[in-house]
Structure formats: C-alpha cells, structure tokens
Amino acid sequence: MSGTRASNDLDEGLEIMTSTSPATGTGLDAATLERAIADALATVRRNVDAFGSRYPDDTTTDGRYALRPADRGIPLGGNRGWTTTFWTGLRWLAWELSGEEAFRAAAAADTADFARRVREAEDLDTHDLGFLYSLTAVAAWRLEQDADARDAAVLAAEHLMRRFLEPAGIIQAWGDLQDPAQRGRTIIDSLMNMPLLTWAGEQTGEERYPDAVRRHTAQLREHILRADDSTFHTFYWDAETGEALRGGTEQGAADESCWARGQAWGVYGFAMNYRVTGDERLLEAARRCADYFVAHLPADRVPFWDLIYTDGADAPRDSSSGAIAVNGLLVLAEVETDPARAAWAVETAHAILASLIEHYTPERPEDSDALLLHGVYDLPKDVGVDEGNLWGDYFYLEALMRVARPNWRAYW
C-alpha cells in the first residue's frame, strides 16, 4: 500500500463546502478533502484526454487501464459489460466538482452512446441496466434535462422489467431468462439497480415499477440477509413456483462466507430503497448490514475482500467495498430515525474515507490511471486482484462529493 502522499497543488477555483466539517478524530479535514478531490480530478482529466470516447477494461493491470477488449462483435474500447457506466459517472461528477466543460462534453458524448446501446439492444441481458443507466442517462436528465437521455433511460427500465419473474417477485440477475444455470437467481448487488425502476415509475406514473422495487427488495431482505446480519452474495428461487431455494456465492470465499462488496452493496442498497419505499424493514436491514460490515473491519478500516478475513490475514483488501460502504453509511445517516445511530454512521464513513485517502490512493495522480488502488474484482477467478477498478474509482469520488457537498443530488 502507498504511504501518506506528498502534498499537491490545489486546483484553482475548486469549490469545497466545508459547512459540515467532518467529524474530528477521523483525519478527514477540509484540506485533506480538497487535496483528494484535486488529485482525483487530475486523474479523470488525464483519462479523458487519453481515452476520449473509448472505454477502459473493468480493472487496471499494474495500475494502468487498458482499452476494453473486443468481444461478441463489440470493438476494442466499446461500450459493453456492467462497468462502463462508472467511467461516465466519474465524468459527470468531475464536471459538477470543477465546472470544466471538457468533463461535461465527455460525459454527454458517452451518454449518447448509452442511448444508442439500449436502442440497438446491445448487451442488455443483465440486471445491471440499473447501474448502466442511472449514472449516465438518468444523470444527464437530472443535470441537463436531456430529453433523449430520459427516453433512453425509460427504455432501459422497460428492459429491466422484462427480468421480473412471477411468482417469485424477483429480478433475475444474470444471463438469458431461459438459461437453467441462471434462472431464478438474484444477487445482493441488484439492490443498486432498483433506483432506475423507481425513477422510471416517477417519470411514467406506472405503478408496476415501484411495485417491482417493493417486491424485489422485500425478497432480498427476507432471504439474502442472514440471521447473523451477514449476507449471501446470490440466492436462487424456483422460477416456476416462486419458492425460495438456497443461497450461494459467485465471488466470495465460500457460500457461507460474507463477500465484502456484497455486504457494502447491502448497506447502500437497503438504505436507498428504504428512502423511497418507506418500508421500515429495509431500514433495519441497512442497519444490520452496516453493523456487521463495521464490526468486521480491520484496524485501518478498509475491508479484506471477504469479511471472513481479519487483521493478520494474508489476503488482499477490497478498497472498492470500503468506498461503497462510505456512501452507504452516509445515506443511512440521512435516513436514520435514531440520531445516535446517524452520528455513528457519519463518523464511521469519514473514518473509512480518511483511510482510503491516506493509504489507498496513488502517491501522485500520475502514478496510476485509477483513483483508488488495492481493489479486488473476483478473487476466486483471479480477476482484478489488488488492482484499481472502475466502480472503486466512481464510489470513491462519489464519497468525496458527498462529504464536500452535503446537498449534492445523487444520480441514483
């Protein structure tokens, strides 16, 4: 891991609101925050220049993003898979933080490509349509009232609804709906795909969207969250009868272990979906995910890739889980009904973010294409281990945005 970074020049004109001074004792003061944002913007700026309208791979290799490989007729650097959205989301965030036109233009051009992707029905067999269109087309609608982006996002939501399985009342996560290996399976990450449906419900007035959100999140709360407050990564339902069958993992250490990123998705996803459904059981689920996650952090507050590992383990960390959890804890604090719990969530979020800034970012922005180092994509398959990744970068900058500008309107 990198040590404490050298101080860097601050970008002129960077607007940081410090009205909510981070909690004392966490090491997250206004100067640290300002420097972290300036460094992050320097990297995004360099990547905009280097990549233009082409997309990088999911993770870095030795600290550098390569172009996304060609696959199934989609060319090198093309828009496929679930992570290109974070590249665009970073550009929207960078524009909001800096006001620089180059970021806005790059994000808008990407968004037009996302609109093309959904209209041409290219690589849409996934529940990740929520990730893919929230940080691109919904963001463009919220920020610029881009009507074409709005229509594309509604179309993406319509595609996502085709994955809603009756009578189980869940959205199938991966693959073709007829694929026996994937049929009836969902994953905890899916909580983050619900905001696209919530937004589509608001836009269209169609009740089937919020209804799907309520039913899917209730099923996850009931079955993917375990009695000890840890979570399964994935869970199967019988697609014909709707019966809940069994939990399992895909990216965790074992079926019964607790994959760190899944638990972080749980904190963020249950909190966000509580906000829109008002279902108190989702608030309780978010609290339980948060308590378990925080209780299983090592001394430096950044999780190992699976929460079965603790201090002293010879296992990689997943910085991206830490960044996701920071955002989740900050949203949990916003929706909390218990002031003491809300204060704890903010203080914990700031402590994790301070550690990410100090120990998990490059010494100098030019040392890596990633904003955040030391992530894990899929350790069992040896993909992206101890590397930067696109979602880690996105959630890190989203976390900086949330702390710097407490009134920021999220894209979700």
User: Which residues of the shown chain bind ligand GLY in the complex (CB under 6 A)?
Assistant: 189, 251, 261
Using the minimum distance from each CB to ligand GLY, give the nearer residue, 83 or 368: 83
**Cα–Cα distance measured from residue 15 to residue 405, given in angstroms and rounded to the nearest whole number:** 9
CA 67 to chain CA centroid, nearest Å: 21
**Cα–Cα distance measured from residue 322 to residue 395, given in angstroms and rounded to the nearest whole number:** 9
| Of 57, 110, 189, 306, catalytic | 189
Kindly tell me the sign of the dihedral angle through the C-alpha atoms of 85, 91, 97, 101. negative
As measured in angstroms, the least distance from the Cβ of 327 to ligand GLY is 14
> Which residues does residue 164 pair with via DSSP β-bridges, in sequence order?
171
As measured in angstroms, the least distance from the Cβ of 331 to ligand GLY is 18
As measured in angstroms, the least distance from the Cβ of 83 to ligand GLY is 8
Using the minimum distance from each CB to ligand GLY, give the nearer residue, 22 or 252: 252
* Pairing mode, strands 375-378 and 185-187: unpaired
Phi and psi angles of residue 74, each rounded to the nearest 5 degrees, phi first? -95, 125
As measured in angstroms, the least distance from the Cβ of 59 to ligand GLY is 10
As measured in angstroms, the least distance from the Cβ of 165 to ligand GLY is 19
Confirm whether 58 is a catalytic residue: no
Residue 130 tokens, joined: 């929520």
Nearest CA among 47, 92, 91 for reference residue 67: 47
**Cα–Cα distance measured from residue 170 to residue 397, given in angstroms and rounded to the nearest whole number:** 31
Using the minimum distance from each CB to ligand GLY, give the nearer residue, 261 or 296: 261
Q: How many CA atoms lie within 13 A of 315 on its CB side?
A: 23
Residue 306 tokens, joined: 């699976």
Using the minimum distance from each CB to ligand GLY, give the nearer residue, 214 or 261: 261
Confirm whether 128 is a catalytic residue: yes
Using the minimum distance from each CB to ligand GLY, give the nearer residue, 103 or 268: 268
| Of 39, 58, 110, 128, catalytic | 128
Nearest CA among 353, 371, 402 for reference residue 86: 371
Please list the active-site residues. Answer: 128, 189
